[in-house]
Amino acid sequence: MNGKGHWGAPPLNTLAPFSWNDPTLTGGTSIVRAQHIVDIRTALSQVYAALSLTPPTYTDPALSIGTTIKAVHIEELRAAIIAIE
């Protein structure tokens, strides 16, 4: 068992490729949109399911067009990723 309570390597090779709504982002020019956060959350949910873990919860679970992206949205994504490292 590793430090995160998982046995061995996670079965992530069983995940289907994820299809991003906006597959090409360019640093310094692309504008962060709510859909980008939704895409990452969806991909993370698939990873959590593959690991038989309860998916994370979010402060604003339903982001839509026009939603202002907040620091907490990014912080929650970071925490969710760190939790499965």
As given in the structure block, the two tokens for residue 62 are 């339903």
Q: What is the pTM of this model?
A: 0.79
Terminal Cα distance for the chain, rounded: 13
Number of domains making up the chain:
1
**DSSP labels, 36-85:** HHHHHHHHHHHHHHHTT-PPP--SS----TTPPP-HHHHHHHHHHHHHT-
Look up the domain containing 75 and give its range. 32-83
Q: Is the residue at 21 inside a domain?
A: no
Residue 8 has, within 13 A of its CA and on its CB side, a CA count of 2
As given in the structure block, the two tokens for residue 74 are 């990014």
Q: Is the residue at 9 inside a domain?
A: no
Share of the chain above pLDDT 90, in %: 51
Q: Is the residue at 44 inside a domain?
A: yes
Q: Residue 56: which pLDDT band, with cuts at 50, 70 and 90?
A: very high
